[in-house]
Amino acid sequence: MKTIRLSIIISLWLLAGQIAAAPALLVFGASLHGSCNPQRYQCDLNGFNPGLGLEWNFEPTWAGGRLLARTGAYRDSYAETAVFAAGGWRRVWPIASDWEAGVVLLAGYLKGSDINGLIAIPLLTVGTPKLALEVGYIPKIKAGNYRGNVPVTTFNLRYAF
C-alpha cells in the first residue's frame, strides 16, 4: 500500500506543473535475461513484465534533445510490482520518411526489480514520433545495495498523445 501511495504522490507531483508538457503513455512488456548461475542466484526470472507509465516532455529543447520526466509501475522479473520515477533526456534523428531513431538517458528512483534506490539506464528508440519501441540495457553490476546477477534487456512501447 505504501508503494502505491508513493507512486500516486510522485505522479501528481510530476503532473502538477507540467499540464502543458507533451504527454506520452508507456506500455511495458518484456525483458530478456542473460546467463545466470543457479548455484549462486535465483535464476527463475520472469520475462513477461506488463505495466504502464506516463512521460512528460518539456520545452524548450536542450543540447539538441528534450528533457523529460517519467513515472510508472510494472510487474518485475521476480513477479513483484516495481514502481519508479525518473528524469532524463531524449534525442532523436530522422532516418526515413516519418521514421526516427534516438537515445534516451534516464536517472531516477526504482523500488522493485531487486533495487530500492537510485538507478540510471540508457534506452535506444526507433519508430515514429507517435509510436516508438524503446530498448533498455542494464549490465550485470554490483553497485550500492544492488547485486544484479544477470544483464537485463528491457522492451517497452511509447505512445505520444
> CATH fold of 2-160, please?
Porin (2.40.160)
C-alpha cell at 113: 526489480
Burial classification of residue 39, based on how many CB atoms lie within 10 Å of its CB (0-12 exposed, 13-18 middle, 19 or more buried): exposed
Summarised one tens digit per residue, pLDDT across range 37-92 is 566 565 667 788 999 999 999 877 778 899 999 999 999 888 889 999 999 999 99
User: For residue 14, what is the enclosing H or E element?
Assistant: helix 2-16
Amino acid at 23: P
Question: What pTM was computed for the model?
Answer: 0.80
| Mean of pLDDT over the chain | 83
8 Å CB contact between 71 and 84? yes
Residue-wise pLDDT for 111-120, tens only, equals 987 788 888 9
Q: Contact at 8 Å (CB) between 45 and 78? A: yes
pLDDT for res 1: 57
pLDDT reported for residue 18 = 47
Contact yes or no for 67/104 (Cβ under 8 A): no
